[in-house]
Amino acid sequence: FEDGYQWFYEGVNGWWQYDPRTSIELEQSYKNDQPWIEVLIAGFLYVIDFKNMVQMRRANPTRRRRIKRDIVTIADKKGIAGIRVA
Ligand code: V3L
């Protein structure tokens, strides 16, 4: 985004950047102070919880991943939405 921030979810030993479409949804909802939203990711509904900064599948809320909003250049990102970068 214009301020250099991007959205990430936790992987093994690092962070994955969200896909561009989901990132836009997250940013808009975050800036609107929504406490949580639902998004469709790869065919599954996920709850994004901005209070606790976690995401989880709606159908299986016990499996949760941390999320963060961070500067893209200093973030140790693994890739975008499961697509690895070198
Ligand atoms: N965007 C894309 N795919 C996701 C997302 C998301 N926000 N959340 C979960 N998945 P779970 P390493 C991740 C995928 O939490 O080696 C990465 O993108 C998730 O993909 O139980 O562990 C990699 O593709 C996983 O395949 O709902 O760091 C992959 O894991 C699946 O949904 C391996 O990454 C179940 O995750």
Position 32 pLDDT exceeds 70: yes
Q: Which atom of ligand 1 is nearest to the CA of 57?
A: 27
Condensed to tens digits (0 to 9), the pLDDT of residues 48-74 reads 999 999 999 999 999 999 999 999 876
Distance, CA 71 to ligand 1 centroid (Å)?
A: 21
Whether pTM > 0.90 for this model: the answer is yes
Buried b (16+ CB within 10 A) or exposed e, 29-50: beeeeeeebebebeeeebebbb
pLDDT tier at 85 (50, 70, 90 boundaries)?
A: confident
- Of the two residues 85 and 80, the one the predictor is more confident about is 80
Distance, CA 32 to ligand 1 centroid (Å)?
A: 26
Count of CB atoms situated within 10 Å of the CB of 17: 21
Which pair of structure tokens corresponds to residue 67? 């999320």
